[in-house]
A = this chain, B = another copy of it.
């Protein structure tokens, strides 16, 4: 327990493994991001619109909470929800408890589109096909551990 003046708090040099994992992650992130955008575009949605729609799978949500979850300004959400609403994917309803807040809810069309997109993602994941079932389990556990501490988008 004694304090070696070294490692614990001090940001040590990233070891070789960490460095490579970061690079691999970057590539994987780029790949997934592209696939997500494409899958959304195939349903004439943008990535941002798809993300908002995905959030609403859990149920209606106030604008502000959407903004917080996506880490952006509330004024940004206004525009995205405007476009989703004008196409019938989403509705704005006033909250009865607090009339300042507007609850955004996915319509049936919206939910369907979101689910469809999600399914298409599951199929499109070519990279995952390279792994066996047991390896997928290992990967899942590692990812779980990595995300446990981080501030996930509540999903």
Contacts and interface: CB of A to CB of B under 8 A. Distances in A.
Interface of A: 11, 14-15, 17-34, 36, 71, 119, 121-123, 125-128, 130-131, 133, 135-140, 142-150, 152-153, 155
Q: Chain A at the B interface: mostly helix, strand, loop or mixed?
A: helix
Contacts of A130: 145-146, 148-149
Contacts of A126: 149-150
Given A23-B155, A32-B25, A127-B149, A18 B122 contact: yes
B15 A133 contact: yes
Contacts of A19: 122
Contact of A128 (B21, B30, B32, B153): B21
